[in-house]
Amino acid sequence: MGQQPFNQSWWLNAANDARRRLASKFAGNRGRMTDVLRAAVEAAITAEARAGREHLQDPYWRDAFTGHSVGQDEIDAVGYARQMRLTPSPSEQRKPVTYVNRLAQDFEVLKLRFRRDEPDPDGYGIGTLHAVTNALFRKARELGISAP
């Protein structure tokens, strides 16, 4: 017997059915998705604060000539990150992609302010803010939310 011809309409119907099932499965979880995203950002901020404190205490991270510690830059950046409004609005809870997009925009503004206002000679402070933003994007992708 010969091979059956590919039935494109069957495949498209199956794909659309799977998409509908997934959408309905996650419809009630959208508010929880923003909770998971917020927790990921908060955990990243906490981890960066811990790293900054460790770097402040370790002489390896201190410039021998100036006495400057990159840990201070990281701590300063954490202070900026903690100013972010992480609480999602009701509309963001219904549509988590809008929450991710708002946080992404807010982080970009925050990074611009940090670069303008803070000395960060080695780039560890801005790197701290990038690490927190990347944690948000990583968690969004894990949840199937398209991140910028």
Q: Please give the chain's pLDDT, 148 residues, in tens.
A: 555 555 566 556 665 565 555 554 555 566 699 999 999 999 999 999 999 999 999 999 999 999 999 999 999 999 999 999 999 999 999 999 999 999 999 999 999 999 999 999 999 999 999 999 999 999 999 999 987 7
**How many domains are there within the chain?**
1
Whose CA is closest to 36, among 147, 142, 132?
A: 142
Cα separation of 57 and 146, whole Å?
39
Is residue 51 situated within a structural domain?
yes
Tell whether 124 is covered by a domain: yes
Is residue 7 situated within a structural domain? no
The number of CA neighbours under 13 Å toward the Cβ of 17 is 6
Range(s) of the domain holding residue 51: 28-142
**Is 23 within a domain?**
no
Number of neighbours of residue 34 by Cβ within 10 angstroms: 25
Residue 12 belongs to a domain: no
Model confidence pTM above 0.75: yes
